[in-house]
A and B are shown apart, each in its own frame.
Chain A
Amino acid sequence: MNKRALQRLSRRSFLASSLRAALFGSCAASSAALAQQTPWRNWSGGLQCQPAGRYDITSENQLADILQSTNGPVRPVGSGHSFSPLVPTDGHLVVIDQLRGILDYDNDTMQATFGAGSRLGDLGAPLAEIGQGMLNLPDIDRQTVAGATATGTHGTGIQFKSLSGYITALRLITPQGEVMDLDASDGDLFDAARVNVGALGVVTQIRMQNREAYKLKKREWTAPTEELLAEFDERAANHRHFEIFPLVYSDYSLALQIDESDEPIGQTIIPAEEVELSNLRRPGLQATPAEKLALNNALAENAEMTEAVDLSYKLLSNIRTNPFNEMEYSVPAEVGADCVREILRTIYDQAIEVAFPLEFRYVSPEDPWLSMAYGDEPHATISIHRTASEDFRPYFDIIEPIFWKYGGRPHWGKIHSLGHDQLSELYPHYRDFMEIRESLDPEGRMLNDHLRKLFNA
């Protein structure tokens, strides 16, 4: 990249080029001959297994028959978007993406029942056609409803629960092939099943609370991180969604604010005044943290602001095409900003080679037992990412203890190293969940190595 090109960098191209730089060492293809059997791999490619059986489920009856007629481990899989090893098994892999679509809906209650294998991104348009919209969505739209809810996946907004918090009923096929229809009247079982890490059986239908279809207006801009952290609570309270992406080796963050809107669908880009960058050295592998900071700050000051109005499902969720691995923890909202500051400072002080920004947002308190926002107080969630082609462990190993220091709870679908002893201290109903798990699956058919570590089973 020459100086002239560098001078023209906008925020968007700055972020994209940062990601591309991280990809330069792109993954070398394995020289091993292809296995005759098809392996399973997750979205980021970091996890793989060779299941003994692979079942493309077409109906609940077929699923129940398979569970009753087979022996050995069973793991359900949605879109394979979990970075934690929830899926890998040498037993039976149960694929549920044919159990999909809107099965039933009621516009008086604004609820709809989905096939649990539906991808979130496939539900927005048909829901809008019947006049409904999901209350919130997570960042990635290709997860299945079952996978997203089983892992407590959430979006942004202090007044919004995770997807699991909006489940009003679900159908669970137990490891014995029995059908259980659960709702709030089932008490503990329902509270356990709404975030179930795929350990209680296979969820085939999920009924969710929605609202009338709506449009949103999104505004993105860059500003000093300290300024955004100082006004975070106020913006989070006064806007439907507010989050920031703190840039590493920078004093700036990308801010994202979303509110309901009746304006026409469209997008506006408001360019920033270009600043002189030619006297800055391009940061390379040998650049010092101070050199990176100077350049990144100048680029962030030079970033444009964008505004877009669109249907809710088109603005709340995204297609992510740069594979990465991610660690995410929730911490009490009142210590969230301090946790972000300590992570940014650690990356700088230890000169950790990373280009991905952090992500910092609030979620509402809720009551599914294994939700990372379980309880009465709002939680902040903080994510760190690493490009899929890079080894995430050195970076994540340094940052993870910072999350623990602030009382962090891990996202079930993302990378963490905690086991039963730590987790049972973090989740008030952890032992209750384990009791229900054992009662539904006494033989441990739904367990793999990772889940055995989580549940001391």
Chain B
Amino acid sequence: MNFFDSVLDPRYFRFQMKILRPFLLILLLLPLAVGCSTASRDSSSAQAFSAAVVDQEVMGKWARSCALCHVDGVADAPVVGDTEEWRRRLEQGEDVVMRNVLEGYNSMPPLGYCMACEISDFRAMIAFMAGTNQ
């Protein structure tokens, strides 16, 4: 079983927790640390992504597309679990973030290689990578 198959396995979620563990403390402290200094659209954007449902189907799509670059940071892609970097991206607001996904941004092609994804899938994937669905 390779990595991309393993994400469909429940054991993957333990792996996920393992790689996210270093960031969990930051994640817990994030609202206190940045809550007063970030713009209101930041929190509304984060809320939009936090409502997304990250289920097994979404994780399967993520593994076949986003993971190609967002696991290793290929071409400077923000890495899954790097909450600080993702927070910076989400500060731009939901519209900008979603437009970047749909139309492509820097080295990321339109749709981020997910030909089967709907907008709700992209929201959930971003929530997963940014840690806003915790």
**Residues of chain A having any CB pair with chain B under 8 Å:** 27, 29-30, 33-34, 36-45, 48, 54-56, 77-80, 93, 95, 97-98, 100-101, 119, 121-122, 125-126, 142, 319, 321-323, 388
Contact = CB atoms under 8 A, between A and B. Distances in A.
A55 B95 CA distance: 26
Given A34-B98, A56-B116, A95-B116, 9 more contacts: A38-B102, A40-B115, A41-B102, A44-B109, A80-B109, A95-B115, A142-B113, A323-B104, A323-B107
Interface stretch (B17-25, B34-42, B60-68, B80-88): B60-68
Contacts of B107: 321-323
Contacts of A45: 103-104, 109-110
A323 B109 contact: yes
A97 B75 CA distance: 23
The size bracket of the interface on B is: 20 to 34
A39 B109 CA distance: 13
A33 B115 CA distance: 21
Given A34-B102, A38-B119, A80 B111 contact: yes
Given A30-B103, A56-B61, A79-B113, A319 B98 contact: no
Contacts of A323: 104, 107, 109
A41 B110 contact: yes
A-side interface mostly = loop
Contacts of A48: 110
Contacts of A37: 118-119
Interface in B77-134: 95-96, 98-100, 102-104, 107, 109-111, 113, 115-119, 122
- In this complex, which of A36, A78, A79, A126 has the most chain B Cβ atoms within 10 angstroms of its Cβ? A79
Contacts of B12: none
Contact of B111 (A40, A55, A100): A40
18 contacts: A27-B103, A29-B96, A29-B100, A30-B99, A34-B119, A38-B111, A38-B122, A41-B103, A41-B109, A41-B110, A45-B103, A48-B110, A54-B118, A55-B116, A79-B113, A79-B115, A80-B115, A122-B4
B29 interface: no
A55 B117 CA distance: 10
A101 B5 contact: yes
Given A30-B103, A34-B99, A56-B116, A41 B111 contact: yes
